[in-house]
């Protein structure tokens, strides 16, 4: 890392989909040194690791293979950081149901470790935590009905879910992220740390190794391109708002620029009302843009699945001046372009063991 750089930024989960896009952006700043902490457990993220090492500014990038469950490793990585973006997580609801203990350790204890490292640091770092819309549960308080190919909400004046929606943690993932979300918020109140929480819905774009359990937009498009059968859970009318990952990174940069103003705040973040799509609409769009047939298999709806989730981003916009700029078409274009550039890697989807072997080779 260049010794002249003044700003030291820690990104946990920095090899992941959002993390690698964030690291790319941070490396554009000549005064910033980026420290990436990741255990490389997510399938495919070694490709992001290799890509990050090729970027201009990579002499200001330090990559640490480490686990957020490891208190000492987190403290060491955070020791002189001015900013911490805590993205490392167990990210799939399905996996959390199969193994709630690991999910709790990574998401709740891992976040606690990051907060403690920040509290004990002399740098008073800005801490941004990526939470989830799952903290609002199945949103039974928003009645829905089917109109055409999607659910619509029946709540007067509905312009998206705001931060005042009651919390209702649902699924081990919802509980572990929700607990972490509340800790992050409270460390601002109790310890005066500059923390902020982004409760994100669906983020999509390049560098996402989407699979059946997480990253559905990329997963659907990659599956159609490969002629794979796609399992649709429920009727396919579920609606989500989708945000381009580069718009999310813009939002992170906007929040850090006003860190004392966003201190202790939570913000809902997604594509908003104008970037909504249902599962079946997305599948039809994939079919249209690729010219390839869909192979669908229907199964039961997942427990706690929200029939409709649309974020209201009004609070973040008011506090930071941020606005999303990319459309749903831009999002799909960027995923498709990433596919064409990386099709062999995406199709191969290396396992965790393969990730570890690659890392060993790289480090050796």
Ligand X SMILES: NC(=O)c1ccc[n+]([C@@H]2O[C@H](COP(=O)([O-])OP(=O)(O)OC[C@H]3O[C@@H](n4cnc5c(N)ncnc54)[C@H](O)[C@@H]3O)[C@@H](O)[C@H]2O)c1
Q: Which residues are catalytic?
A: 173
Smallest gap, in angstroms, from Cβ of residue 294 to ligand X? 22
Backbone angles phi, psi at 302, to 5 degrees: -75, 145
Whichever of 146 and 357 has its CB closer to ligand X, that residue is 357
Choose, by CB under 6 A, the member of 10, 18, 142, 332 that binds ligand X: 18
**Contact call for residue 332 and ligand X (CB under 6 A):** no
Distance, in Å, from the CA atom of 194 to the CA atom of 84, rounded to the nearest integer, reads 10
Is the backbone of residue 171 left (phi > 0), alpha (psi -120 to 50) or beta? left
**Contact call for residue 16 and ligand X (CB under 6 A):** yes
Distance, in Å, from the CA atom of 57 to the CA atom of 301, rounded to the nearest integer, reads 45
- 30-59 CB burial, b ≥16 within 10 A, e <16: eebbbbbbbbbbbbbbbbbbebbeeeebee
**Contact call for residue 132 and ligand X (CB under 6 A):** yes
Smallest gap, in angstroms, from Cβ of residue 296 to ligand X? 22
Cβ partners under 8 Å of residue 24, min gap 6: 52, 55
Whichever of 40 and 322 has its CB closer to ligand X, that residue is 40
Distance, in Å, from the CA atom of 59 to the CA atom of 55, rounded to the nearest integer, reads 9
Please report where in the chains the tokens 């990436």 appear, as a residue.
36
Smallest gap, in angstroms, from Cβ of residue 254 to ligand X? 17
Whichever of 13 and 324 has its CB closer to ligand X, that residue is 13
Q: Which residues pair with 233 in a beta bridge?
A: 299
**Contact call for residue 96 and ligand X (CB under 6 A):** no
Whichever of 44 and 125 has its CB closer to ligand X, that residue is 44
**Contact call for residue 178 and ligand X (CB under 6 A):** no
Choose, by CB under 6 A, the member of 57, 110, 172, 174 that binds ligand X: 110
Choose, by CB under 6 A, the member of 87, 142, 184, 279 that binds ligand X: 87
Smallest gap, in angstroms, from Cβ of residue 189 to ligand X? 22
DSSP 3-state percent helix, strand, coil across the chain (nearest 5): 45, 20, 35
Ranked by CB distance to ligand X, the top (closest) residue is 16
DSSP structure class, residue 311 = B
**Contact call for residue 206 and ligand X (CB under 6 A):** no
Backbone angles phi, psi at 76, to 5 degrees: -65, -45
Ranges assigned E (strand) in 87-155: 126-132, 144-147, 150-153
Whichever of 41 and 327 has its CB closer to ligand X, that residue is 41
Range 30-59, binding ligand X (CB under 6 A): 38-42, 45
Q: For residue 125, give Cα distances in angstroms to 157, 282, 334.
A: 39, 40, 33
**Contact call for residue 202 and ligand X (CB under 6 A):** yes
Smallest gap, in angstroms, from Cβ of residue 6 to ligand X? 26
The contact set with ligand X (CB under 6 A) reads 12-13, 15-19, 38-42, 45, 67-69, 87-91, 106, 110, 130, 132, 200, 202-203
């Amino acid at each position: 890392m260049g010794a002249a750089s003044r700003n030291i930024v820690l990104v946990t989960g920095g090899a992941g989909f959002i993390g690698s896009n964030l690291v790319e952006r941070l490396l554009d700043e000549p005064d910033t040194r980026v420290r990436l902490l990741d255990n490389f457990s997510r399938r495919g993220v070694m490709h992001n690791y290799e890509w990050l090492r090729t970027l201009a500014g990579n002499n200001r990038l330090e990559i640490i293979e480490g686990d957020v469950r490891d208190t000492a490793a987190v403290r060491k990585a955070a020791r002189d950081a001015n900013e911490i973006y805590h993205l490392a997580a167990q990210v799939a609801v399905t996996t959390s149901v199969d193994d709630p203990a690991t999910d709790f350790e990574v998401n709740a204890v891992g976040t606690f470790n990051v907060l403690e490292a920040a509290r004990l640091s002399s740098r008073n770092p800005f801490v941004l935590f990526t939470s989830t819309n799952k903290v609002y549960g199945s949103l039974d308080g928003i009645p829905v009905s089917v109109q055409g190919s999607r659910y619509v909400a029946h709540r007067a004046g509905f312009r998206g879910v705001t931060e005042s929606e009651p919390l209702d943690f649902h699924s081990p993932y919802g509980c572990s992220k929700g607990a972490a979300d509340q800790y992050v918020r409270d460390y601002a109140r109790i310890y005066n740390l500059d923390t902020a929480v982004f409760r994100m819905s669906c983020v999509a774009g390049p560098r996402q190794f989407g699979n059946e359990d997480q990253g559905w937009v990329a997963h659907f498009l990659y599956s159609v391109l490969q002629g794979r059968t796609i399992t649709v859970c429920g009727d396919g009318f579920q609606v989500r708002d989708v945000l381009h990952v580069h718009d999310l990174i813009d939002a992170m940069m906007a929040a850090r620029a006003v860190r004392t103003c966003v201190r202790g705040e939570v913000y809902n973040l997604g594509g908003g009302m104008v970037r909504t799509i249902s599962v079946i609409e997305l599948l039809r769009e994939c079919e249209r843009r690729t010219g390839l047939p869909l192979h669908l298999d229907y199964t039961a709806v997942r427990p706690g699945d929200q029939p409709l989730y649309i974020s209201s981003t009004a609070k973040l916009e008011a506090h930071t001046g941020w606005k999303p700029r990319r459309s749903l078409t831009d999002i799909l274009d960027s995923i498709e372009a990433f596919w064409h550039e990386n099709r062999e890697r995406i199709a191969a989807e290396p396992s965790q063991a393969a990730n570890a072997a690659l890392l060993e080779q790289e480090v050796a």
